Structure 1
Amino acid sequence: MPYRRRARRSDGIVGSAFDRRLIPPMVIGAILNPVNSSIIAVSLVPIGAAFGVPPSQTAWLVSALYLATAVGQPVVGRLVDLFGPRRLYLIGAVLTLAAGVVGTAAPAFGWLIAARVLLGLGTCAGYPSAMTLIRREADRTGHESPAGVLTVLAISTQTISVVGPTIGGLLIGLAGWRATLAVNVPLAIASLALALARLPRDPRPRGLRREVLPVLDLPGMALFAGALTALLVFLMELQSPPWAALAGAVILFAGFAVRERRAAVPFIDLRVLGGNVPLVLTYLRVVLAQTVSYAFLYGFTQWLEDGRGLTATQAGLLLLPVFLVGIVVSTTTGPRPQIRGKLVVGALTQVAGSALLLLLTGTSAIWTIVAVTVVLGIPQGLNNLANQNAVYLQADPERLGGSAGLMRTFMYLGAIIASAANAALFGDRVTTTGLHDLAAFAVAVSLALVVVTVADRSLASTLSRRQPRPQETHA
Structure 2
Amino acid sequence: MNARGRWLMISVGLGTLLNPLNSSMISVAIARLQNVYRLDFTVVSWIIFSFYIASAIAQPIMGKASDLFGRRKIFLTGLVVSFVASLLAPLSVSFGWLIVFRIVQSIGTSMIVAVGMAIVRIHITEKQATALSVLAIFMSGAAAIGPFIGGVLIHWWDWPAIFFVNIPFVVASFLLALRTIPKDEPLAPVARNISFRKWFDLIDASGILLFTVGLVALLVGLLSTKSSEHVSLGHVVVGLIGLVALGAFVRHELKTTSPFIPLRTFAKYSAMTWVNVQFMLVNVLFYALFFGLPSYLQMVRHVSEFHTGILMLTLGLCSLIASPIAGRWIDKSGPMPALLVSAVLMTFGSVWIVTLNQTSPVISVCVALAAFGISNGLNGVGMQAALFQNSPKEMIGVASGIFNTSRYLGTILSSLLTGVVMGGQFNAGGFRLLGVILTIIALSLVFMSWWRWESRQLEES
TM-score by length of 2: 0.91
User: 1:367: which partner in 2?
Assistant: 363
Return the match for 1:220 from 207, 210, 215. Answer: 207
Partner SS, residue 367 of structure 2: helix
Return the match for 1:327 from 303, 320, 327. Answer: 320
Q: Report the Cα offset of residue 186 of structure 1.
A: 2.7
Contact 1:96/1:188, CA 8 A, preserved across alignment: yes
Partner SS, residue 362 of structure 1: coil
Structure 1 unaligned residues grouped into runs of 5+? 3-16, 465-475
Partner SS, residue 328 of structure 2: coil
Return the match for 2:267 from 268, 274, 287. Answer: 274
User: 1:392: which partner in 2?
Assistant: 388
Matched, 1:54 2:40: yes
**1:202-281 to 2 correspondences below 5 Å:** 202-205=184-187, 206=191, 207-209=193-195, 212-239=199-226, 240=230, 242-281=235-274
Return the match for 2:410 from 411, 414, 422. Answer: 414
What is the alpha-carbon distance in structure 2 between the residues aligned to residue 119 and residue 414 of structure 1? 20
Q: Report the Cα offset of residue 111 of structure 1.
A: 1.3
Q: Normalized per residue, which structure has more helix?
A: 2
Matched, 1:197 2:174: no
Letter in 1 for 2:96: G
Contact 1:308/1:361, CA 8 A, preserved across alignment: no
Partner SS, residue 376 of structure 1: helix
User: 1:155: which partner in 2?
Assistant: 137
Over 3 Å counting, the alpha-carbon distance change for 1:181 and 1:246 in structure 2 is same
Matched, 1:109 2:95: yes
Q: Report the Cα offset of residue 197 of structure 1.
A: 2.5
Letter in 1 for 2:326: T
User: 1:358: which partner in 2?
Assistant: 354
Structure 2 unaligned residues grouped into runs of 5+? none
Q: Report the Cα offset of residue 463 of structure 1.
A: 10
Q: Report the Cα offset of residue 193 of structure 1.
A: 2.0
Matched, 1:84 2:70: yes
Q: Report the Cα offset of residue 131 of structure 1.
A: 1.6
Q: Report the Cα offset of residue 127 of structure 1.
A: 2.1
What is the alpha-carbon distance in structure 1 between the residues aligned to residue 4 and residue 111 of structure 2? 21
**1:372-387 to 2 correspondences below 5 Å:** 372-387=368-383
User: 2:338: which partner in 1?
Assistant: 342
Over 3 Å counting, the alpha-carbon distance change for 1:426 and 1:264 in structure 2 is closer
Q: Report the Cα offset of residue 442 of structure 1.
A: 1.0
CA RMSD of aligned residues (A): 2.1
Partner SS, residue 266 of structure 1: coil
**1:38-187 to 2 correspondences below 5 Å:** 38-137=24-123, 141=125, 146-187=128-169
What is the alpha-carbon distance in structure 1 between the residues aligned to residue 168 and residue 369 of structure 2? 31
Give the number of equivalent residue pairs: 446
What is the alpha-carbon distance in structure 1 between the residues aligned to residue 152 and residue 455 of structure 2? 43
Letter in 2 for 1:231: L
% same residue: 28
Q: Report the Cα offset of residue 260 of structure 1.
A: 2.6
Q: Report the Cα offset of residue 217 of structure 1.
A: 2.3
Partner SS, residue 45 of structure 2: helix
Q: Report the Cα offset of residue 350 of structure 1.
A: 0.6
Contact 1:268/1:402, CA 8 A, preserved across alignment: no
Deviation digits for residues 254-300 of structure 1, max 9, x if unmatched? 32233333323332323322321111111111111101111101111
Partner SS, residue 336 of structure 1: helix
Q: Report the Cα offset of residue 33 of structure 1.
A: 0.6
Over 3 Å counting, the alpha-carbon distance change for 1:202 and 1:463 in structure 2 is farther
What is the alpha-carbon distance in structure 2 between the residues aligned to residue 76 and residue 463 of structure 1? 39
Q: Report the Cα offset of residue 155 of structure 1.
A: 1.0
Contact 1:169/1:312, CA 8 A, preserved across alignment: yes
Over 3 Å counting, the alpha-carbon distance change for 1:433 and 1:406 in structure 2 is same
Q: Report the Cα offset of residue 340 of structure 1.
A: 1.2
Q: Report the Cα offset of residue 173 of structure 1.
A: 1.4
Deviation digits for residues 4-33 of structure 1, max 9, x if unmatched? xxxxxxxxxxxxx98223111210121011
Letter in 2 for 1:342: A
Contact 1:61/1:116, CA 8 A, preserved across alignment: yes
What is the alpha-carbon distance in structure 1 between the residues aligned to residue 165 and residue 458 of structure 2? 43
Contact 1:350/1:376, CA 8 A, preserved across alignment: yes
What is the alpha-carbon distance in structure 1 between the residues aligned to residue 177 and residue 272 of structure 2? 36
- Which moved further from structure 2: 251-260 or 346-355? 251-260
